[in-house]
Amino acid sequence: MNKQALVENIKKKKSFLCVGLDTDIKKIPQYLLKDEDPIFAFNKAIIDATAPYCIAYKPNLAFYDSMGVKGLEAFEHTVAYLRENYPDQFIIADAKRGDIGNTSELYARCFFEHTKVDAVTVAPYMGEDSVKPFLNYKEGWVILLALTSNTGSLDFQMFEDKAGTRLFEKVLDTSKKWATDERMMYVVGATQGKMFRDIRKHVPTHFLLVPGVGAQGGSLAEVVKYGMTDECGLIVNSSRGIIYAANDETFADVAAEKAKLVQAKMAQSLSEKGIID
């Protein structure tokens, strides 16, 4: 999906919500375990219930990898189900991969040729040749880690050179030369609040993927205030706050309610910024 289609979709659905499919077999309603593929059954129900309120889905690969072959199958079924039934949804493989060039190429092949997602999250530590292979796919986006939502983000991402440039800023400045804002986005945690102002000095027009609203305590209002662009420029993710809002037969309905509440706030923000009427 290209940037224009993404922006149009945000306007149409009055939402910039991404639902994180962090599906853990230990946390889904127990009655689903009778299903042949409980993880996919859970994802399908969540997708069908929340699709009207979001514009993207983000399965985090750790949840699928940790279940071995069955998990991988559930991941592939989930992406295929989205592709077939919800072609307007932007699909992000949250994999945080990155390796030397010839190896990153294989990860890229995996996500863009085999599973066919729209975007992959990539870790920047190994530099340009670890990221470039993901950019060789015309339709594929790289979402590079910049300033993450966790406490450990302070350990290295704030490391500062003598000119006062911090590592996450160096990552933004260097990597934005590798591709346009039609091919790259950045991960910026919602927990970083006012830091979005600094981020926007470096990447005024790029889309940002924003985890950390909800369970991790980030504020949607601050993200919007400091991070939103004329084209929205934000994809805000919520995982646990939506998909695990209930743990019985009502889980999908409750997830839909939660997603709808977030969407309503997002519609208001988009309206206040004049992006939609």
Q: Which residues bind a copy of itself (CB under 8 A)?
A: 22, 24, 60, 62-63, 65-66, 68-69, 72-73, 76, 94, 96-101, 103-104, 106-107, 109-110, 114-115, 123-131, 145, 148-157, 159-162, 167, 170-171, 174, 211, 216
Q: Closer to a copy of itself by CB, 3 or 202: give it.
A: 202
Question: CB of 89 within 8 A of CB of 32?
Answer: no
| One-letter amino acid of 81 | Y
The residue to which tokens 């706050």 are assigned: 241
Q: How far is the CB of 2 from a copy of itself (least distance, A)?
A: 25
Q: How far is the CB of 150 from a copy of itself (least distance, A)?
A: 4
**How far is Cα 182 from Cα 89, in angstroms, rounded to an integer?**
17
C-alpha count within 13 angstroms, C-beta hemisphere, residue 5: 10
Closest CA to 236 of 256, 271, 211: 211
**How far is Cα 237 from Cα 67, in angstroms, rounded to an integer?**
23
Q: How far is the CB of 117 from a copy of itself (least distance, A)?
A: 13
Dig out the tokens for 194 from the structure.
């006012």
Q: Closer to a copy of itself by CB, 150 or 271: give it.
A: 150
Has 201 been annotated as catalytic?
A: no
Catalytic residue (one of 70, 96, 176, 273): 96
Q: Closer to a copy of itself by CB, 70 or 273: give it.
A: 70
Q: How far is the CB of 39 from a copy of itself (least distance, A)?
A: 13
Q: What is the 3-state secondary structure (H, E, C) of 169-235?
A: HHHHHHHCCCCCCCCEEEEECHHHCCHHHHHHHHCCCCEEEECCECCCCECHHHHHHHHCECCECEE
DSSP labels, 65-134: HTTHHHHHHHHHHHHHHHHHH-TTSEEEEEEEE--SHHHHHHHHIIIIIIS--SEEEE--TT-HHHHGGG
Q: How far is the CB of 20 from a copy of itself (least distance, A)?
A: 10
Q: Closer to a copy of itself by CB, 50 or 130: give it.
A: 130
Q: Closer to a copy of itself by CB, 144 or 235: give it.
A: 144
> Active-site residue numbers?
96
